[in-house]
Amino acid sequence: MKNIGKEIIQTESFLKKEDFYKNLIRKLNAERDKVNKGGGDKAIEKHHSKGKLTARERIKKLVDDKSVFYELNTFCAHGMYEEYGGAPSAGTVYGIGKIHGRDFIIVANDATVKAGAWFPITAKKNLRAQEISIENKLPIIYLVDSAGVFLPLQEDIFPDKEHFGRIFRNNAKISALGIPQISAIMGPCVAGGAYLPIMSDEALIVEGEGSVFLAGSHLVKAAIGEDIDNEQLGGATVQSNISGVTDYVMKNDEECLTQIRKLVEKFGEFPKAGFNRIESINPKYNTKEIYGILPEDPLKQYDTYQLLARIVDGSEIDEYKAGFGKTIITAYARIDGWAVGIVANNRNIVKTEASKGSGGEMQIGGVIYSDSADKAARFIMNCNQKKIPLVFLQDVTGFMVGSKAEHGGIIKDGAKMVNAVANSVVPKVTIIMGNSFGAGNYAMCGKAYDPRFIYAYPNAKISVMGGNQASSVLLDIKVKQLAKEGKKISESDKKKLLDDILKSYDETSSPLHAASRLWVDEIIDPAKTREYISKAIEWSNNNPDIPKFNVGVIQT
């Protein structure tokens, strides 16, 4: 093992970067506080007046005391659906928490947001929760309190493969996989949404508030002329004692949550994957020093080894091919006791010896060269052979371009790496620490490559290319378009247009934009990187079924 850390002198530059990152986290937490209020104070007050708990209050009472509930996709729908008043967290709260020491996915409708109605992104968020359940064999608890599909946007949520109906299909698939599902009907449960709790293994219903039916009283009246109220149609007593649809009648939210805990307490043990773990050792250096290592400008270089020294156990790594392909660091290490294989973009500018694709020239940190891609592909295959989970630390500006790179076979070597990532069978955890541009996003296990969990730092940038390059290209297209129309553009107008394009591009490449669309599972505090990686592997360890590794055809 090699110690990679060193004491950092808190220079003015370090303190400025530290303050910059702490301020980013303060802003992020302020935004999180707003989101956590759901539909706002008045909506919460109205909800409480019915004797009901909010979604997050229900979850807090359900999980073990003093345990941490890891909420995921908190910023889903951020900045979306503003014409309808917004939809904080897409009207659904979900994450992973412990009940009697066992990990569960808990999904709760937030009825303070449009009565818990489903927007198009709400369906996508629920599908992500179920995907995590299937990939990690984690049992799910649904706390249902929803008015159903948000009708003004029904065409974007109802009929397609990844729409509303896929959730009930997944209920069936999850059950077939032997993964327990429990539903609590704590409010309305209407139309197609009625299938979710009833396709679970067991269903509880709260008296006076919970109801479940395919059509509410108004629709029944319109369709067949029957005059009946919702309670008589599908309330707790009817659905438990007459139809037998639900299994337990509960007096209120608290009793319902207590009953769920009693059911969970009796679960048997399930097999684990058996990833290697020993006693955890803290890094030799303060994890919060990451704030002063990361640059304010994501395009600036920094010492990636010093960042790793504040993440891995004992600040030690076993580096694979340390002297080759230096723009990617590949290393075995431990994080909170778990054995991991780390693939990290090296943001230092390093001088390399002549090697394939490098020509011995100065290489640029954060760029993937042929030798780096080849090394990473081999390392990823090694980790799969040894059943070692992979951690991708992304800060990548893309693959190297130009004649030297092309003649050196950059496309072929990049394809090797992408192939290895795509076919990898061990759990992959991705952290976007800075830039995530173009095909670099793919090679470093972006969302399209099935990481079990993917997180971003508050200063991350996710886009097809950097903002300066993209705005220059877009400006050029716009100027040529105007020229075709016989219009001229002054230098001052050109500058204004460039600034507007750059601002728009920066906004759409921000971590909040990514989180709102579920491109990342959560924006995290960099000082908690160890914790989130450790938890991701702990959750992944619940699935013992690891397929045989086969990369298919790779050109050499």
- In eight-state DSSP terms, residue 369 is P
Average pLDDT over residues 220-226: 86
Tell me what pLDDT residue 354 has.
Answer: 45
Q: Between 341 and 351, name the one with better pLDDT.
A: 341
Asked whether the predicted pLDDT for residue 258 surpasses 60, the reply is yes
Radius of gyration of the chain (CA): 26
pLDDT single digits (tens) 225-241: 888 888 888 888 899 88
CA 220, CA 407: separation in Å to the nearest integer? 70
Q: What is the token pair recorded at 494? A: 């050109």
pLDDT of residue 353: 46
The burial class, CB within 10 Å (0-12 / 13-18 / 19+), for 404 is: middle
Per-residue pLDDT at 199 exceeds 60: yes
Predicted TM-score (pTM) above 0.85: yes
Cβ–Cβ < 8 Å for 72, 90:
no
* pLDDT per residue as tens digits for the range 466-518: 666 666 767 777 777 777 778 777 777 777 777 777 777 778 889 999 999 99
In the predicted model, what is the mean pLDDT of the chain? 91
What single-letter amino acid sits at 61? K
Instruction: Tell me what the mean pLDDT of segment 89-115 comes to.
Output: 97
In this predicted structure, which of 409-418, 472-481, 517-526 has the lowest mean pLDDT?
472-481
pLDDT tens, residue by residue, 528-555? 999 999 999 999 999 999 999 988 766 6
Q: Categorize the per-residue pLDDT at 365 as very low, low, confident or very high, splitting at 50, 70 and 90.
A: confident
Higher pLDDT, 473 or 75: 75
* 171-192 average pLDDT score: 92
